[in-house]
Amino acid sequence: MKYAQLIVETEAELKNTENKQRLVQFQKRIRFLWLLKTEAATTQREAGEMVGWKLRQSQKIWQLYREGGLKSVLRKNTGWQSGKLSADQRGRLNEQLAASKGAESLAAVKSYIESEFGVCYSIGGVSGLCQRLKIKLKTARPSNMKKDKEQVAAYKKTFVS
C-alpha cells in the first residue's frame, strides 16, 4: 500500500501537529502516520512497533485515519459504550423488572431482551448489564415449610408494632 500517497498531510504538518500534542497517545498516533508518510516504515506493523504498539492497535489507528482523517485520530475516546441497548431500552427493561418484581434468572432477562428488543446477549453479557444497571436478584427469605398459615394470619392481626 502506498501510504505516502494516502496520507494527505505533509511531513512538516505532521511533525508540527505532533509537537503541539500534550498527550503521549496522540503524539504516538501522529508519529505513526509520519513514519508511514516518510516511508521510514513500509507496513503498519513496522510503524506500530516503532512507536510501541502491536499490529491490532496500528490497524485501528489506520482505520480511524482512513475513515475520518487527522481529526478522528486526534479525537479523545469518550469512554466505554453502555452496551447494546439504548437509554430508552434500558429504561423499559428497568420498568419491566420493577413491575414484575424482578426476574427469576439471568436466562429470563436474556429471553425478555431478545424478544422485546431483538438484541442478543450471552448470559455473561446479561450479567454485566445487570451489574451496570444495578439490578439484583431479589430472593425471599426462607420460611418453615410446616408453618400454619392460619396461625400466621392470626398473629399478624394481633401484632402491635
Mean pLDDT, the chain, rounded, equals 88
Sign, CA dihedral 119-125-126-132, equals negative
Task: Provide CB contacts within 8 A for 37, sequence distance 6+.
Answer: 3, 4, 7, 9, 10, 11, 14
Q: With a threshold of 0.75, does the pTM exceed it?
A: no
**Burial of 129: CB neighbours in 10 Å, binned 0-12, 13-18, 19+:** buried
- The arithmetic mean of pLDDT across residues 110-117, rounded, is 92
In the block, cell 424478544 appears at: 115
pLDDT of 114: 93
The pLDDT of 126-155, averaged and rounded, is 85
C-alpha 38/C-alpha 5 separation (Å) is 10
> Mind listing the pLDDT tens digit for each residue in 56-78?
999 999 999 999 999 999 988 76
- Residues 159, 78: Cα–Cα separation, whole Å: 56
Confidence class for position 12, pLDDT limits 50, 70, 90: very high
- Is the CB of residue 12 less than 8 Å from the CB of residue 23? no
pLDDT tens readout for residues 69-102: 999 999 887 666 667 888 899 889 988 888 877 7
pLDDT in tens, 20-59: 999 999 999 999 999 999 999 999 999 999 999 999 999 9
Cβ-contact 156, 118 below 8 angstroms: no
Q: How far apart are CA 29 and CA 63, in angstroms?
A: 12
